[in-house]
Structure 1
Amino acid sequence: MRIYVIILAGIFLIGCQETDPTDQVGESSYDAPEQQTHKKENANWENGQNNVIHEERKVMYHGNVTMSVHNVEQSMKTITSYAKDYDGYITESSRMTTDQQLYANIRVKIPNNHLQSFLHELDGISKDIVRQQIRGQDVTEEYFDLSSRLKAKRTVEERLLTFMKEADKTEDLLSISRELAHVQEEIEQLEGRKRLLENQIDFAELFIELKESSTSLEVSQENLKTPQKIKNAFIQSINVIAKILSLFVIVVIGFSPILLCLATVIFLCWIGYKRKTHQRRKKDS
């Protein structure tokens, strides 16, 4: 019985070895390299995670700075100039006035290797730094994960392109084309995410808030009020003259009968006085 079992096992093994491997490859033969690549992708990812500590750390920096300045407009121009000097750029800026106080917000992107120098320049703009906060986010694992997945997807793309050239059946060609389009779409998404991550890694983002100091505000408001005071004084003087003229016209017209009578009496008295004076002069002569 044992001999019979051993003979059957030997025949089965020989039959398996003589089976043509191409007989097992059908319409889905193009999937085999992709499955192998996925296995390799997982292996590469695990190896990449183990070797992350040996690679350069990938850190994104974000910061918030609040400053009190004497001149908001001039400070905005100075910060924009410093950003250009350090190969950075402005992504957002705004100004507003609240309770007669001027505020401005600026969002700046500065290369990481110039971040400390740029912060030092801000100290020169204002000695009154109300708040300064810089925080970093380690994205090393995410970055190398994206790189590994992107490399694996490109390998799959190359394999699928090779299968497309070798495909004989229309059905296989259509299946490969659909899979290739799906893989290429994933590659574009991964590349876009990687480019965004690289930009965030290479450039630190600073949100700078400027507010005008109270001393500067008082002087500025006083300067703004001086022309207004002159205008108000001129208008008031015109109003006084107009009131006087109006009162004079009212008195003259309103009391004209009385004034006419008084004028007549005064005129008659004056004529009588003149006659008496003339007669006295004649008698004396």
Structure 2
Amino acid sequence: MKTLTILMIFLMAACGGNGGSNISAESGHMDLMDVVPEEDFLGESKETWRPQNSSTSKSSNQSDPEIEKKVIKTGGLSYRVESTKEEYQRISKLLDQYDAYISSENENKGYDRINYNVSIKVPPQNFDVLIKEVTDGKKLDNRWVNTDDVTSRYYDQQSRIENKKKLEERYQEILKKADKISDILEVERNLNQVRSEIESLQGQFKLLNHQINYSTLDISFYELVPYELDQEQRPGFGTRLLNAMSAGWQGFQTFLVYLLALWPFGLLALGVVWVVRKVRAHKKSE
């Protein structure tokens, strides 16, 4: 246990150490939350990564690797077509040429138009060319393009994953040298927490990478159709008469139900009439 304590003290000294850490050589117990805090244990700053600007000195620019800009491009188009089926087939043929694919699609029909919506994923280098091909000869109702710079977010998240993995390795080293059950359980608890955080960060980083590598283009096109009265769905004359009689009978039953619900007011009205007649009869007798 003394060897493990000495190792922990050595790690704290190498990482900058926290003067307030609690290590008791006499008791042989270590508080892992104080001994291996994430920032002190890795010796990393709480400040997130920031790309170098143009004012950085030449020596710094020579030592730092070249930073690749990361952006997410999205856009949307809306226009009218003569046939939604033909337009869908035309767009589908263009996708293979530009390494694109349809991630989602939706078709709905109104009383005067047929609407079709498709969401396309396309490599960013083919984004503008695909828009040009799709809109060629079309009169657009709406067109928009948005570019979101996520360079700082990308490298910051990448750095956080690397630091979490280093922390995981340190915990694994400590776990191998721990011989006290309480220390082993504490290390395993923190190790599981770090692994869970790594999985979450990797999932977010994977999604961010996909958004960078594939831009999103939402296309909405519609076809105007003449209004048609569907006579086949209208019921015949006999059926309409039976429906009218049934509706009338249902209305009469509803009226009776409401009428019966007012019976207390009927009794009250009869009582008032009886009292008025008694008073008039009494006056006549006088």
TM-score range, shorter chain: 0.5 to 0.7
CA contact 1:150–1:190 (8 Å) conserved in 2: yes
The CA deviation at 1:50 is 4.5
2:78 aligns with 66
Task: Name which of 45, 56, 73 aligns with 1:42.
Answer: 45
The CA deviation at 1:30 is 8.3
Structure 2 residues not aligned, in runs of 5+: 1-22, 55-65, 231-286
Paired residue type of 2:172: L
The count of aligned residue pairs is 198
Equivalences for residues 85-104 of structure 1 within 5 A:
85-104=97-116
Paired residue type of 1:71: S
Paired residue type of 2:78: T
1:193 and 1:28 map into 2 onto residues whose CA distance is 32
CA contact 1:66–1:129 (8 Å) conserved in 2: yes
Equivalences for residues 77-116 of structure 1 within 5 A:
77-116=89-128
1:136 aligns with 147
2:265 aligns with none
CA contact 1:90–1:106 (8 Å) conserved in 2: yes
1:50 and 1:32 map into 2 onto residues whose CA distance is 32
Q: Secondary structure at the match of 2:50?
A: helix
Distance 1:111 1:50, change over 3 A: closer
Q: Secondary structure at the match of 1:137?
A: strand
Paired residue type of 2:208: L
1:70 and 1:163 map into 2 onto residues whose CA distance is 70
CA contact 2:102–2:118 (8 Å) conserved in 1: yes
Distance 1:37 1:114, change over 3 A: farther
Percent identity over paired residues: 25
2:159 and 2:37 map into 1 onto residues whose CA distance is 15
The CA deviation at 1:153 is 0.5
CA contact 1:37–1:152 (8 Å) conserved in 2: no
1:102 and 1:110 map into 2 onto residues whose CA distance is 26
CA contact 2:51–2:67 (8 Å) conserved in 1: no
CA contact 1:67–1:129 (8 Å) conserved in 2: yes
Q: Secondary structure at the match of 1:41?
A: coil
Task: Name which of 23, 26, 43 aligns with 2:25.
Answer: 23
Report whether the alignment pairs 1:196 with 2:207.
Answer: yes
CA contact 2:165–2:198 (8 Å) conserved in 1: yes
The CA deviation at 1:26 is 3.6
2:173 aligns with 162
Distance 1:171 1:120, change over 3 A: same
Equivalences for residues 205-220 of structure 1 within 5 A:
205-212=216-223, 217=225
Q: TM-score, normalising length from structure 2? A: 0.61
Paired residue type of 1:152: N
More helix by share: 1
Q: TM-score, normalising length from structure 1? A: 0.61
Structure 1 residues not aligned, in runs of 5+: 1-20, 229-285
The CA deviation at 1:101 is 1.7
Bigger CA radius of gyration = 1
1:65 and 1:38 map into 2 onto residues whose CA distance is 51
2:192 aligns with 181
CA contact 1:64–1:133 (8 Å) conserved in 2: yes
2:198 and 2:73 map into 1 onto residues whose CA distance is 27
The CA deviation at 1:31 is 5.5
2:40 and 2:216 map into 1 onto residues whose CA distance is 38
CA contact 1:41–1:149 (8 Å) conserved in 2: no
CA contact 1:34–1:156 (8 Å) conserved in 2: no
Deviations 1:83-126 (A, max 9, x none): 233222111111122232221111111111110121121023x4
The CA deviation at 1:42 is 1.9
2:131 aligns with 119
1:260 aligns with none
2:274 aligns with none
Report whether the alignment pairs 1:148 with 2:151.
Answer: no
2:42 and 2:184 map into 1 onto residues whose CA distance is 24
Paired residue type of 2:135: D
2:238 aligns with none
